[in-house]
Amino acid sequence: MRKIIFIFLISIFLNCSSDIQKNFISLFVITEELEIGDNRVVLTALDENGNTLTNDLRFFLRKLDRNETIEIKNKSISSWPPNRNVFITKINFDEVGYWEFIVRNGKDEAKATVNVKQDSKILNVGDFIEPLNTPSIGEYNISEITTDINPNKDFYKHSIAEALTEKKPIFITFATPGLCVTGTCSPQLEELKKISNDYNDLIIIHIEIWKNFKEVMDKGDLSIGKLNDSVEKFGIKTEPWTFLINTEGKIKNRYQGFVESKELKTDLESIIEY
């Protein structure tokens, strides 16, 4: 059985941020699932002390078998918990294979290589989601379907199947705050709570990774975890993941790892019809 554990390679380094530029030694592409077409990509650069860097950085991209190098100018800085800075950009990959990201600060340079696939096994932008009968408080006590210590009951009112019938925008987040290795699952839910009362026609659904999370927590053994059916249907391999679904049941955006409420609101506003 697969373990759904999202362990960033950088998690042991990203304990603080730095506004004072130092020589950096590493570039990380946090987004693991990349495919042909438009992709939301998260990048971070570290100095020699493991601090995340933001100032005076220039990012570039090239296909490894091409000579052309393209500068990435359309990017934004996002704050990740507990105190990290990352860069968010949108990349349209036109060819499968290995691509190289490059970050420069004066004479200093770091590189990271990624593999772009033809198709991701994870549901992506443009895919329609199935009307899945996911756990909700219509069938379960809330303590049976979430590890959130301060749950918003509205996040558990609807199954995916029920939500699709209402023809409203939907955020679906897959996270297990009580068992989250990276420490971003609870913060992700808090970001969704920030916007939950701002829109009357928005449905937010939180789904745990493990259907038997109580047993996993009691025994402290992730290997005995049984995946919720919807986790397998979406093809998720890491956590957390969040998906924005339009009124027709089509995925409009997907977000691997943490995503700030301001980005979620911007993307939501782009699909809302007033």
Nearest to 185 by CA among 8, 50, 45: 8
Instruction: Please give the Cα distance from 163 to 202 (Å, whole number).
Output: 10
Judge whether 132 lies within some domain. no
Judge whether 18 lies within some domain. no
Are 102 and 155 within one domain?
no
Here the tokens at position 139 are: 């069938």
Judge whether 238 lies within some domain. yes
Instruction: Please give the Cα distance from 182 to 46 (Å, whole number).
Output: 18
Judge whether 183 lies within some domain. yes
Q: Flag whether pLDDT at 6 surpasses 50.
A: no
Q: Is 25 left (phi over 0), alpha (psi -120 to 50) or beta?
A: alpha
| Tens digits of residue pLDDT in 21-34 | 455 679 999 998 99
Domain span at residue 212 reads: 142-269
Judge whether 2 lies within some domain. no
Judge whether 10 lies within some domain. no
Q: Flag whether pLDDT at 16 surpasses 50.
A: no
Are 58 and 157 within one domain?
no
Are 88 and 202 within one domain?
no
Are 241 and 161 within one domain?
yes
Helical (H) or strand (E) element with 165: helix 160-165
Nearest to 202 by CA among 212, 211, 194, 190: 194
Judge whether 16 lies within some domain. no
What is the reported pLDDT for 23? 59
Are 106 and 149 within one domain?
no
What is the reported pLDDT for 2? 41
Where would I find the beta strands (DSSP E) of the chain? 24-29, 37-47, 58-63, 70-72, 75-80, 84-93, 97-105, 108-116, 170-174, 203-207, 241-245, 251-256
What is the reported pLDDT for 274? 59
Are 148 and 241 within one domain?
yes
Q: Any idea which of 51-55, 91-95, 248-252 has the lowest mean pLDDT?
A: 51-55
- State the sign of the Cα–Cα–Cα–Cα dihedral 234, 238, 239, 242: negative
Are 48 and 103 within one domain?
yes
Are 202 and 239 within one domain?
yes
The CATH number for 170's domain is: 3.40.30.10
Mean pLDDT of 137-144: 95
Contact 244, 253 (CB under 8 A): yes
Q: Considering its fold, how many domains does the chain have in total?
A: 2
Mean pLDDT of 205-213: 95
Are 201 and 107 within one domain?
no
| Tens digits of residue pLDDT in 51-63 | 888 988 999 999 9
What is the reported pLDDT for 200? 87
Please indicate whether residue 25 or residue 254 has the higher confidence score (pLDDT).
254
Residue length of the chain: 274
What is the reported pLDDT for 18? 43
Are 105 and 219 within one domain?
no
| Tens digits of residue pLDDT in 220-245 | 888 898 999 999 999 998 889 999 99
| Tens digits of residue pLDDT in 175-207 | 999 988 778 999 999 999 999 999 989 999 999
Q: What percent of the chain has pLDDT over 70?
A: 91
Mean pLDDT of 72-83: 92
Instruction: Please give the Cα distance from 33 to 143 (Å, whole number).
Output: 32
Q: Which of 116, 151, 169 is the last residue of a domain?
A: 116
Mean pLDDT of the chain, nearest integer: 89
What is the reported pLDDT for 24? 62
Instruction: Please give the Cα distance from 188 to 198 (Å, whole number).
Output: 17
Are 30 and 101 within one domain?
yes
Helix/strand/coil for 242: strand
119 DSSP assignment: S
Q: Give the confidence band of 20 by pLDDT, cuts at 50, 70, 90.
A: very low
